[in-house]
Structure 1
């Protein structure tokens, strides 16, 4: 076994702003100080938050320092009410912390009776100057209203400074110039990554399916670029913290259909010059969602479906014109039967179902299931230099289920248990059983026929995750302790050259069947050949604290220990 250990993180934030960003995974926190008109703390004041859309209610009391805190709060809009003997009731409406944020609402009470109510609409600052990490929030309005081609919500990540698509990794996201394999995607607090490929589950938007989660199912997400809290790990690049939509006390649904077709497109200049028809093109995107109450204020549901049908032409032609000699012309004539266009058809279906249950005033259970089925016809190793028989179908089949249980203990502590399971199967087929033949001319690949040297192949991964987090407010300290276990069971079948691969350095060599080289893969002694099982076990323990020393000084610090264990083959050098 190999292991890697990281000990982190100490960080400091100093400011007078009223919002602290602490990367609350999959949720938010609301806290603050209650004082009187002289600025003195008001202890034992009763503080209540009530969800505007769900009726969720939580209550706590201020400490001797006048501090209160609500951790692991579902993202949404809340009304905050403060009651204390001898003071008017103070109310703040529309308190709406975003995912990963800590909204600090300080209140000053006026002398009076509890029957007198002072109501003010909360106005959270746009700039979070006390944050100890650099992050950007993509709001629900942005996810809904901003135009996007392909409906992959992760494309909105490039709205964050320093984030671009990595051209060397098929479109992975690059944070600050780092490789796209260094990132982590969290959905509803659960790991959604394929460790083997270093990409998101299903390799969405980076060489396989266009997306694994529907844009319409995403409520909002936070993009963390550096300086994360200790709760977040397993990433040297960026961490994308996503929450999906939930049902509310009102029934609500939407539907959509986007259609693009060759009939709506102009013909290309080249086709017009040759008097050729438009190439085949069909692109349909459709779906919808519905959510609402099963039992008002207690039990809610949400369901979303997103489908995509995309057909595009794939022309095939000889990349280098054949020389005029007889053998080269003979080879070109023989290869002409492989030079025929074919279609790439991409079918993607995504389903999401979610249930949220307010079991009691102190217990909440959320269960979410997401499924993705993708079929890419002639998507394997496709291109203008690949004959139809040199390609194959790409399939992606993923299932992800996450359960979050939150228990509020005595108003000042929260225990959260999170369980996740992901199945990620990615087989790639072959359209031929013949050995691969690569024909070249003058150092350039002219055409590839036969079975691709790496096909058929598959990579199947199963991920099991357990996270236990305990958060408690003690005086001016907001403590958090946790354990995060992640186990991936991987089967990878990469039959490189097991079908054989010929290389012909010229048309003439192909005509005479005189290969420059032939490569044949074989299983080594005491091995499973192209089948490997690179299982990964990940163990993490973390502790962090946010200490509000004064109204103008906040200290955020923590430590995290990560241990990675990788399976090794019994025969290292067969």
Structure 2
């Protein structure tokens, strides 16, 4: 990580507050998949009303929360599941007031102004309609993609994260295919699903590396209820990102059974043949794209226990046309003609697939009046047959299956200790296994003629490979409401055990500059070579374990200074610790320069202060926001894994030329002596 130290005095004060909060209560989870409803109750003259009982009921599940206004007439109900609510206010001597269809979205703080009128008879006022569209206490820059947009807007490929492109300042990162916020790299973003970290910490992308040309998505679009995009000046509870934090909540069951079925079908039978195929008297290229699935949710026990299940399947077949082009000056000697015949036999076009099965099951239980448990499991199997490499000069030998298998189990427990003290605890177990296979055991060979690549055959130089992440995450936070202050503090500990096996050039790689030399099997001419890597003696070679331990704590205060001004202030600390390399390079020059290849320095100064102000004048339909903060993005573990293996000891890559090269398709069983 890269960052700077906050002002000393501010750090000591806020850090002390964070430690105090952690001591007096069990801490709660950052990046919650919930929202808050709060507001002020007044009489017809505008005077505040203390002691008003405000009952907030989820219209879908019957979940009920009861709070009482304080001496300033304020009420707050944090940690509410997203959904539609009714808000009922009662006080002796006043007409009961109820507002229905109050829609609460993820990460939102809805601020209501409720006016009660004096009554001398038993009567009530009920209002139905939309909730306020302006969040008067929010100071961060964020946008919400709601349930209607996720369900109805078209998106090619059904990756729900692409809806983030609808928000201001968001584009596609042309370098990796990820989402870029304000021009920053996609690797600086963080994806949070149901409060759980859903990032691949090795590659710096989402789990499953979805959207980067391999697996299309980890969660079905049909299983996502809505998500919030926090792009700037977000509070201290959000971290591990220098770009944006995408906060996602999946669907849940309710008292009313509901479900859906979908299918999208595209096939070559529905398309006309393209002009190139017609010109060359070829049949239609293989193409088949089918996405299908459905969901079902409902009650297990009315008002208490609910379930939701979703399945999503994809079958996608794409052509990879192989085109052999021989330069006009290609010789016609016997060796060249024999090589051409050999390559033509290997140059058949082939197909690639992106086949995937994803399912999600989720249960929500109101264990008691004050405790709610949510458990969610998501399962992804992706098979990208022949997806390791592609292109018109790549033979079928030179590719292989690119597979992704992810499993995530997430549990959260929300507890109301008392109306002004709430706790949310979360746990996650996750696994992201991404093996890449090879179609042959033959070494890689790039065959060229007159400076142009004719065909690349044999095993891809980096296959077979594997990267697997096993994760345990434990997080907890407490919310304490005291007068005009809503205090929140918490911790988030995450432990990733990472296996990376990347045998680059271990199976050998030939480069032939002429067809004739390929036919002889000896790359001993000008600019021809043979490359092979070998594991260093007593090392793990191409296998590394760049494990990561992450520790984060935060404290945040939402202070309603006046009815029209809210100040959000907080402090966050992030510590990212990497496993140390096992090998120290013994080179004397490195030692004299103070370079120790077995030691990685830990960055310990990642203090991130946050401050924001929201001003919404009474009676006006606008809000002005300002914010400042320091944010720290993760260092992807691939950089550390490279430091583990590319130290000149673990992996030793040798380039052979002239008389030292072997004869294709042979490789060295071990490093030759004297090299």
Report the TM range for the smaller structure's normalisation.
Answer: over 0.9
Name the SS of the counterpart of 1:326 in structure 2: coil
Does the alignment pair 1:369 with 2:369? no
RMSD between superposed Cα atoms in Å = 1.8
Task: Please point out which of 249, 261, 281 is paired with 2:287.
Answer: 281
Contact 1:6 1:561 in 2 (8 A): no
Task: Please point out which of 65, 68, 77 is paired with 1:61.
Answer: 68
Aligned to 1:510: 518
Does the alignment pair 1:432 with 2:440? yes
The 1:96–1:440 alpha-carbon spacing in structure 2 relative to 1, beyond 3 Å, is: same
| Aligned pairs for 1:281-300 within 5 A | 281-300=287-306
Name the SS of the counterpart of 1:115 in structure 2: coil
Contact 1:322 1:332 in 2 (8 A): no
Does the alignment pair 1:483 with 2:491? yes
Pairwise CA distance, 1:6: 6.5
Q: Which moved more, 1:347-356 or 1:42-51?
A: 42-51
Does the alignment pair 1:198 with 2:166? no
Whole-Å separation in 2 of the counterparts to 1:360 and 1:507: 77
Task: Please point out which of 517, 532, 540 is paired with 1:528.
Answer: 540
Name the SS of the counterpart of 1:403 in structure 2: strand
Contact 1:31 1:70 in 2 (8 A): yes
Aligned to 2:110: 103
The 1:96–1:331 alpha-carbon spacing in structure 2 relative to 1, beyond 3 Å, is: same
The 1:6–1:533 alpha-carbon spacing in structure 2 relative to 1, beyond 3 Å, is: farther
Does the alignment pair 1:238 with 2:250? no
Pairwise CA distance, 1:329: 3.9
The 1:553–1:306 alpha-carbon spacing in structure 2 relative to 1, beyond 3 Å, is: same
Contact 1:34 1:107 in 2 (8 A): yes
Contact 1:7 1:559 in 2 (8 A): no
Q: Deviations over 1:508-527 (max 9, x none)?
A: 43233342111111112332
Task: Please point out which of 119, 122, 129 is paired with 1:115.
Answer: 122
| Aligned pairs for 1:168-179 within 5 A | 168-169=175-176, 171-179=177-185
Q: Which moved more, 1:40-49 or 1:188-197?
A: 40-49
The 1:114–1:133 alpha-carbon spacing in structure 2 relative to 1, beyond 3 Å, is: farther
The 1:264–1:242 alpha-carbon spacing in structure 2 relative to 1, beyond 3 Å, is: same
| Aligned pairs for 1:395-410 within 5 A | 395-410=403-418
Q: Which moved more, 1:382-391 or 1:425-434?
A: 382-391
Q: Which moved more, 1:93-102 or 1:38-47?
A: 38-47
Task: Please point out which of 33, 53, 63 is paired with 1:46.
Answer: 53
Contact 2:228 2:246 in 1 (8 A): yes
Whole-Å separation in 2 of the counterparts to 1:179 and 1:114: 63
Does the alignment pair 1:133 with 2:137? no
Q: Which moved more, 1:441-450 or 1:64-73?
A: 441-450
Task: Please point out which of 148, 156, 160 is paired with 2:167.
Answer: 160
The 1:184–1:442 alpha-carbon spacing in structure 2 relative to 1, beyond 3 Å, is: farther
Task: Please point out which of 331, 349, 356 is paired with 2:339.
Answer: 331
Aligned to 2:575: 563
Does the alignment pair 1:209 with 2:221? no
Aligned to 2:630: none
Whole-Å separation in 2 of the counterparts to 1:401 and 1:97: 25
In proportion to residue count, which structure has more strand?
1
Aligned to 2:20: none
Pairwise CA distance, 1:311: 1.1
Q: Which moved more, 1:513-522 or 1:114-123?
A: 114-123
Q: Deviations over 1:24-58 (max 9, x none)?
A: 63110000111222222211211110111111101
Whole-Å separation in 2 of the counterparts to 1:209 and 1:331: 37
Name the SS of the counterpart of 2:269 in structure 1: helix
Task: Please point out which of 559, 568, 581 is paired with 1:547.
Answer: 559
Return the index of the structure with the highest Cα Rg. Answer: 2
Contact 1:203 1:209 in 2 (8 A): yes
Does the alignment pair 1:387 with 2:399? no
Task: Please point out which of 317, 320, 327 is paired with 1:321.
Answer: 327
Whole-Å separation in 1 of the counterparts to 2:452 and 2:73: 74
Whole-Å separation in 1 of the counterparts to 2:417 and 2:186: 40
Pairwise CA distance, 1:332: 2.2
Contact 1:5 1:563 in 2 (8 A): no
Whole-Å separation in 1 of the counterparts to 2:304 and 2:557: 32
Structure 1 residues not aligned, in runs of 5+: 11-22
Whole-Å separation in 2 of the counterparts to 1:176 and 1:238: 9
Q: Deviations over 1:430-471 (max 9, x none)?
A: 011011101234444332111111000000101111110100
Contact 1:478 1:547 in 2 (8 A): yes
Aligned to 1:181: 187
For normalisation by structure 1, the TM-score amounts to 0.94
Pairwise CA distance, 1:129: 6.1
Whole-Å separation in 1 of the counterparts to 2:291 and 2:141: 34
Contact 2:150 2:163 in 1 (8 A): yes
Pairwise CA distance, 1:254: 0.8
Task: Please point out which of 201, 218, 221 is paired with 2:224.
Answer: 218
Q: Deviations over 1:375-397 (max 9, x none)?
A: 11111112222111111111111
Name the SS of the counterpart of 1:395 in structure 2: strand
Whole-Å separation in 2 of the counterparts to 1:451 and 1:338: 13
Pairwise CA distance, 1:4: 6.3
Whole-Å separation in 2 of the counterparts to 1:485 and 1:231: 13
Whole-Å separation in 2 of the counterparts to 1:373 and 1:6: 41
Whole-Å separation in 2 of the counterparts to 1:161 and 1:408: 37
Aligned to 1:412: 420
Whole-Å separation in 2 of the counterparts to 1:319 and 1:407: 69
Does the alignment pair 1:72 with 2:79? yes
Q: Deviations over 1:247-305 (max 9, x none)?
A: 00011111111111111001101112223211111111110010000100000000000
Q: How many equivalent pairs are there? A: 559
Task: Please point out which of 117, 141, 151 is paired with 1:144.
Answer: 151
Name the SS of the counterpart of 2:161 in structure 1: helix
| Aligned pairs for 1:247-286 within 5 A | 247-286=253-292
Aligned to 1:538: 550
Q: Deviations over 1:69-128 (max 9, x none)?
A: 111100000000111122111111111121111001121211115832111235434354
The 1:58–1:6 alpha-carbon spacing in structure 2 relative to 1, beyond 3 Å, is: farther
Aligned to 2:355: 347
Whole-Å separation in 1 of the counterparts to 2:233 and 2:340: 59
Whole-Å separation in 1 of the counterparts to 2:403 and 2:61: 39
Contact 2:141 2:233 in 1 (8 A): yes
